Amino acid sequence: MNLLELDGVHVVHRIGSAKLFGRAEVFALTDASLVVDPGETVGVVGESGCGKSTLAKVMVGLQKPTRGTVRYHGDSLWELPAAQRARMFGRDVGMVFQDSSTALNRRLAVHRIIRDPLDVHDEGTAAERDERVRELMSLVGLPRSVADAVPGQLSGGQRQRVAIARALALRPSLLVADEPTSALDVSVRAQILNLLLDLRDALGLAMVFVSHDIQTVRKMSDRIVTMYLGRIAEEAPAADIPDRARHPYTRALFSATPSLLHVAEPIVLSGPVPSATAPPSGCNFRTRCPKAAADCATGLPPLEGENGHTYRCLHPEVPEGARKTGVSTP
Ligand SMILES: Nc1ncnc2c1ncn2[C@@H]1O[C@H](COP(=O)(O)OP(=O)(O)OP(=O)(O)O)[C@@H](O)[C@H]1O
């Protein structure tokens, strides 16, 4: 059974006021279907505003889908009673956010922050909780000397270690990390990424790793999902990305880093990213796609592909030819 399954999930935000300038709809996530299996790492990558954080929030139950189903261990989460849903998410899914300086309660000492989920879920005796906090601090490489410090007294890297310890307190099966290193100094990033990899292996965690840094996503992930303007463009085993990528957006994203995708010239996308309030009809990438044709404007491209490598594109790249010549012609 899948650990987590998203089936046709849409998230639409209604913004504005009917009295002032009128209401608008923001299509933050459109028809997202995705499975996370026990023990695997799924990397989610895409430009700013493409819906990565929305997808992460849906996965941890912080965002209710406007439409579609989220199943955890086969149970449809939003059909469960609220208390049961909260218990399930609280216990079995941990989340680490981008900016630990705002995600952690700045008035609480480190040991209280890490202990909080144990208290909320009434886990063990007081002595067992204290012991678990000591164990978690050691697991994430925090010295005992910072147990009484408040977040403001810690370095950015130490704060992120506290956030990771708290997320792991209840021994979750899944850790969702949303840009966990983008607020950190470059020198500290590798340490936190290595820590996440070590913890994943030691604890057998499934992990969803969200980032706009494609190099990092590629290093961390078993499978990679590329997102564009609220939609999943392509999903593939990490070994297929970028060389065997079929969606032009995936290739464009990776061609910006020549060490990852060798093309004669980077594929420069034309025009701005359209607004999420008025995404283009048909394939929403067509207004910037080097391979766009007239048929891309009508209807959502069907999901194509096999063996865990799927994409939505009517004119996909042909990997062999593409590897030799860059972007192939439509
Ligand atoms: N609460 C909200 N109300 C209105 N619009 C929202 C809300 N949350 C997100 N959005 C919009 O939904 C879209 C997707 O946002 P999201 O934060 O998921 O993207 P992202 O890929 O994580 O971006 P970034 O990399 O910049 O964090 C964007 O257009 C964003 O402005």
Torsion of CA 127, 129, 131, 135, to 10 degrees: 180
Test site for ligand 1: of 9, 15, 23, 52, most ligand atoms within 8 A of the Cβ: 52
DSSP label at residue 88: H
Helices (H), ranges, 93-173: 100-103, 110-120, 126-139, 156-168
Q: Specify the ligand 1 atom closest to the Cα of 57.
A: 18
What is the chain's percent helix, strand, coil content, to nearest 5?
Answer: 35, 25, 40
Delimit the domains of the chain by residue range: 4-221, 225-325
**What pLDDT does 266 receive?**
67
Q: Is the ipTM of this complex over 0.90?
A: yes
* Tens of each residue's pLDDT in the chain, 330 residues: 789 999 999 999 998 876 777 788 999 999 999 999 999 999 999 999 999 999 999 999 999 999 999 999 999 999 999 988 888 888 889 999 888 778 899 999 999 999 999 999 999 999 999 999 999 999 999 999 999 999 999 999 999 999 999 999 999 999 999 999 988 998 899 999 999 999 999 999 999 999 988 989 999 999 999 999 999 999 999 999 988 999 999 999 988 776 777 666 667 787 888 999 999 999 999 999 988 999 999 988 999 999 999 999 999 988 754 444 444 333
Q: Which stretches within the chain are classed as H helix?
A: 52-59, 82-92, 100-103, 110-120, 126-139, 156-168, 186-203, 214-220, 248-255, 319-325
Task: Give which of 168, 69, 177, 52 is closest to 114, Cα–Cα.
Answer: 168
212 Cβ inside 6 Å of ligand 1? yes
Question: What string of DSSP letters covers 150-169?
Answer: -GGGS-HHHHHHHHHHHHHT
Nearest CA to ligand 1 atom 23: 49
Q: For domain 4-221, give the CATH number.
A: 3.40.50.300
What pLDDT is recorded for position 265?
A: 67
Q: How many Å lie between the centroid of ligand 1 and the Cα of residue 13?
A: 9
Identify the CA nearest to 324 among candidates 237, 252, 264: 264
